[in-house]
Amino acid sequence: MMDLGFALNSKRVLVVARRVVRQLKRDRRTIGLITFAPIFLMILFGYALSGEMSGINLGIVDFGGQDDLTDHLASVDDFDLLRLGSESDAEKLIVEGRLHGAVVIRDNEVRILLDGSSPQITSSIMTEVKTGLLPKNGLRNGEMIGGEGESGGAVNVASLGHDGGIGGVGGHGILGSDVGIGRNDALGEYSAVEAQSPEIVQRYVYGYDLEMMDSVGPAVLGLVVFFFTFITAAISFLRERTQGSLEKFMVSPLSRPEMVAGYLLGFSLFALLQSATTFLVVVFVFGVPMNGNPITAFAVILLLGAGALVLGAFFSNFAKTEFQVVQFIPMVILPQVVLSGVWWPLESIPAFIRPISYILPLTYSSDALRAVMLKGAGISDILVPDLLFLAGFFVIVFGAATLMLKREVG
C-alpha cells in the first residue's frame, strides 16, 4: 500500500507538468498573483527601503562659530528646521514630541539632542551633522581600503572605527572621523566635540554607495518568491485533495513522487516568470546592483522556489480549507521574515534563537543572493553552505511531502 515508487516515469511526470501549466495558464488570478503581486510588493519594499527620509523636525540653537554646519543643515531638504533660543527650549519641544531632535551649536562644541525613537532619524541627523562638520572638500572618494561592513556593508572609514552603532542604519555611511560622540543621558544626548581635521578617506568596497534597498533587495527577492510559491503550491495540492483527484491518482499508475515532480516541473516555468519579473524590478527600477551572473541568481531562486513548492505540498496535508492554508503564513513565512537575516544581520539575532535561523532556507538564499548580486560571487563561492543547504532542504522536504500525500486521503 505504501509503495513509494521512487523510480520516476518521466512521461507521467510530463503529463502532470503539462496539466499544471494548462491549468495555470487559464487561471488569470493566480497568474496575476504569481507575476504582478511580487512586482507590486517589490515596488512597495523598494520605496519603503530607499533610505530617503523627509519631514524630520530639527531644532537649531545657534550660538555661532560653526557656520558651515548651520548652512549645511539648512540646505538639507529632509529637515524642517526650527530655530530656537536655548537648549532647554529644544529639550522641551523634543519631550513634547514636536521635534525629532535638536542641534546646539557653539564655537567649541556641538550638542545633539535626540528623541531616539527612530534609529533611521537618529542616523540621518547624526550623518548630516557630521557632514556639516567636515572641512569643505575634505570628503572624497579615495582608494579602496578596509573591509566589509555589516549590512552588506560597504562603508569603512579610515582611522576611526564604529561610533557606537549610529550611522549604520541609513547606510549612507559617512562617519566623521573627526567627531567623538558619547551618549550622556536617557533622552539620548550626544555631544560632538570637534577635533583635528584629518583627511577623511571613504570607500565602498564593492564600488557603490549601498542604500538599504541594495542590501535588503536580494534577500527580499527570495522572500517574495518563497512566499508566493509556498501559498500557491499549498492551495493547489489542497485542491487536489478536496476535488478528489488526489484520491483518483492514488488508484492509478501515477506514483506520489511523480505527482510532486510533475508539479515541480509545471510550476518551475511560472517560478521562472515570477523570478524574472521581480528580478527586473529589483535591478532596473531600484538599481540594486547585479554584479554576478544573473543565471546564478536565477538558479538560487529556482532552488529556493522548489523548496517552497514541496514545503507547500507538505503543509497542504494539514489544511482542510484554503482559509486554513492562509493560517500557515504566521507559522511558516513570518519566522523566515524575522529570523533569516533578510532585514537585519543574523548577528543581531539573539544567540539562543539563532539556531532556528540556520535551519531556514531563506537564511541561505539571502546569503547566496547577496553574494551573487552585490559581490559578484559565482556558483563555487555559494556552493557551501548556501546551495548545499537549499538542495538538502528540497530533497528532505520532497521526501516528506511525498510520504505525507497519504494513500489514506479521506
Partner 1 sequence: MNDGENSDPVSFEEYSIVAQGLQKSFGKLKVLSDLSVKIPRGTTYCLLGPNGSGKTTFIRAVAGLLRLDGGDLSVLGEPVSNVCRVYPRIGYMTQHKALYPDLTLQENMEFYAGLYGIEGARMSERISELLEMVDLADHSQRITGALSGGMYQRLSLACTLIHEPDLLLLDEPTVGVDPILREAFWRFFDDLAEKGSTILITTHLMDEAERCKIVGYMRAGRMLAEGSPEELKRLAGLQPILKLSVKEPEASATRLAAGGFDASVVEGELHVAIEEHRKLKEVLDLVEPLDLRLVEPTLGDAFLRLAEEVQR
Sites of contact with partner 1 (CB under 8 A): 1, 3, 5, 11-12, 14-15, 18-19, 22-23, 26-27, 242-245, 247-254, 407-410
Output the nine-digit C-alpha cell for 250. Answer: 492514488
* Grid cell in block for residue 346: 543574523
Lookup result for grid cell 571613504? 202
Residue closest to 154 by CA, chosen among 314, 370, 322: 370
| 298: three-class secondary structure by DSSP | helix
Q: In whole angstroms, how far apart are CA 251 and each of 113, 244, 409?
A: 73, 11, 11
* Closest distance to partner 1 from the beta carbon of 11 (Å): 7
- CB closer to partner 1 out of 11 and 136: 11
- Minimum CB distance to partner 1, residue 398 (Å): 20
Min separation Cβ 312 and partner 1, Å? 18
Shortest reach from residue 27's CB to partner 1, in Å? 6
- Residue closer to partner 1 (CB basis): 12 or 183: 12
Smaller CB separation from partner 1, 354 or 406: 406
Question: DSSP 3-state assignment of 117?
Answer: coil
CB of 44 to partner 1, least distance (A): 30
- Do 304 and 362 form a contact (C-beta atoms < 8 A)? yes
Measured from the CB atom, the residue of 162 and 248 that comes closer to partner 1 is 248
- Which DSSP state fits 197? -
Give how far Cα 243 sits from Cα of 48, 257, 409, Å: 41, 20, 12
Confirm if 271 and 312 have CB atoms less than 8 A apart: no
In whole angstroms, give the CA distance from residue 311 to residue 97: 47
Yes or no: say if 116 and 188 are a contact pair by the CB < 8 Å rule.
yes
Residue 90's DSSP bridge partners are none
**Residue whose entry in the numeric block shows the C-alpha cell 535561523:** 357
Cα 229 from Cα 275, distance rounded (Å): 11
| 22 vs 320 by CB, closer to partner 1 | 22
DSSP string, 63-83: -SS-HHHHHHHHH-TTEEEEE
Cβ-Cβ contacts under 8 Å for 135 (sequence gap 6 or more): 197
Nearest distance from C-beta of residue 403 to partner 1, angstroms: 15
Q: How far is the CB of 407 from partner 1 (least distance, A)?
A: 6
Contact criterion met (CB below 8 Å) for 180 and 137: no
Least distance in angstroms from the C-beta of 31 to partner 1? 11
Which of 256, 370 has the CB closer to partner 1? 256
Nearer to partner 1, 130 or 241 (CB): 241
- Looking at the Cβ atoms of 167 and 266, the one nearer to partner 1 is 266
Contact 306, 264 (CB under 8 A): yes
CB closer to partner 1 out of 7 and 384:
7
Of 111 and 256, nearer to partner 1 (C-beta) is 256
Contacts of 347 (CB under 8 A, 6+ apart): 150
The rounded distance, in Å, linking the Cα atoms of 384 and 262 is 28
What's the min distance (Å) between Cβ of 237 and partner 1? Answer: 14
What's the closest the beta carbon of residue 313 comes to partner 1, in angstroms? 17
